[in-house]
Homo-oligomer: A and B are copies of this chain.
Amino acid sequence: MLSRVRSAVAHLVRSPPAGAGSGSGAPAKTVDPRASFSRPTFLQLSPGGLRRANDHAGRAVQSPPDTGRHLPWSTGYAEVINAGKSRHNEDQACCEVVYVEGRRSVTGAPKELSRGQSLFFFLTYLSLFLHQGLCFYYWGLFDGHAGGGAAEMASRLLHRHIREQLKDLVEILQDPSPPPLCLSSTPGASGSSDPSHLVGPQSCWSSQKEVTHESLVVGAIENAFQLMDEQMARERRGHQVEGGCCALVVIYLLGKVYVANAGDSRAIIVRNGEIIPMSREFTPETERQRLQLLGFLKPELLGGEFTHLEFPRRIQPKELGQRMLYRDQNMTGWAYKKIELEDLRFPLVCGEGKKARVMATIGVTRGLGDHNLKVCSSTLPIKPFLSCFPEVQVYDLTQYEHCPDDVLVLGTDGLWDVTSDREVAATVDRVLSAYEPNDSSRYKALAQALVLGARGAPRYRGWRLPNNKLGSGDDISVFVIPLEGQAVT
């Protein structure tokens, strides 16, 4: 995330005195603010590789080594990190297989399998059979801004929060009957209703809402994001959690793929050449109406400095009394209004495309962290306008026959800023057709090709793409997850 938060605000992330306790009860260790430049452990970077990653001039594409080790599902991964330019612009990634027991659990690093996955599946399900637990596969991309702390912390801990949330559901998810609405400690407590104290007519309660297993997993993921964000808020009192991060997370559990997104990373499925979007971006443009509604209902959050109205350009004081186009929180169209004094305030949402900003500062509206983020030259906090909740889309892997070329592609905005969905699908076709279907290194090659295609090559005046446009100068991280033969219900 090169330009998502204006560099001017980096220094505004206040550093509280170190040394206070974490006060956590959280499931994992606290972040170390002095942690040096770090990359995902599954990359298994040598000291030389770590140096290359940290070298902005070289912009090396890094992937896990070819020494017979694979990520689960033969997942492909590649990245280019421009940390040499700024240590505050860091993508982080995570790939885990996580076991969940009712109230005990074990987190495992990705298993090392030289061939196939049958042994792995056997061991996994033997473990589940013995422990009556659950297992989920997990991939996460975390695109940091205004500091690397939040992305680093999320990459280490978010899946643990998800595991904690799923612990209560282990038995429920394995039972095909509908989930209990109330977990009762006294038998028969979920019987007929007692309407004596109700304030209104009751007929809308004549039936219970149907709650699916799937919606419990979605709720668990949503709560895990919130708890991760709250942990960042707590930990900043002790150790500085720098900045914030977008989070794009994929979970495979009991036959279904859950794609949870908070920010402007993106996921698509390419299936038989067809493109299926699996996420939406959350930016000042896509969330304009939510932001404006909040500013309208809670004007104190605007600090007398901003107006919740949107204008197509900055109003000049001399235009007072003239009529300007505007949009209010309820509107998708534009209309003219007479310019009043309040309209000369800076708009809560301004700019468009990659330059769109909330409070002239931040270009993403969902994510984790950012608890210290303030408006430049002001003490006005921006966090109230940011949501830590992801949107979760579900894909039922058992509903389709997949072929070896069907993949789920995750990428940070470094990829998508310069690559269209169609270009990704074309690269999927081009690269995978050059490998045997059973060659498990093909997905890594595809991830590398996607990162290379977005980075470009050094040419006259910077890194250029084959069409001579500038390549992405941002961090670029890509997971390629093959979908064939993975569904186990």
Contacts and interface: CB of A to CB of B under 8 A. Distances in A.
A128 interface: no
Interface string A214-255: 111111111100100000000000000000000000000000
A361 B313 contact: no
A323 B312 CA distance: 49
Nearest to A358: B204
Nearest to A191: B316
Contacts of A220: 333, 335
Contacts of A185: 321-322
- By DSSP majority rule, is chain A's interface helix, strand, loop, or mixed? loop
B193 A313 contact: yes
Tell which of A203, A209, A305, A375 has the most Cβ of chain B within 10 Å: A209
A168 to B, nearest CB: 6
Contacts of A378: 199-200
Tell which of A168, A182, A345 has the most Cβ of chain B within 10 Å: A182
Interface stretch (A58-66, A116-124, A150-158, A348-356): A348-356
Interface residues of A, number: 90
Interface stretch (A13-21, A78-86, A324-332, A399-407): A324-332
Nearest to A389: B330
A34 interface: no
A465 to B, nearest CB: 23
Interface string A158-177: 00000001001000000000
Interface string A300-342: 0000011000011111111101111101001111111000000
A359 interface: yes
B200 A346 contact: yes
Interface of A: 6, 8, 165, 168, 179, 181-186, 189-190, 193-195, 197-211, 214-223, 226, 293-294, 297-298, 305-306, 311-319, 321-325, 327, 330-336, 344-346, 350-352, 355-357, 359-361, 375-378, 387, 389, 391-392
15 contacts: A186-B322, A189-B319, A198-B314, A198-B346, A199-B375, A199-B377, A200-B361, A205-B351, A215-B332, A218-B331, A218-B333, A219-B334, A222-B331, A222-B332, A332-B392
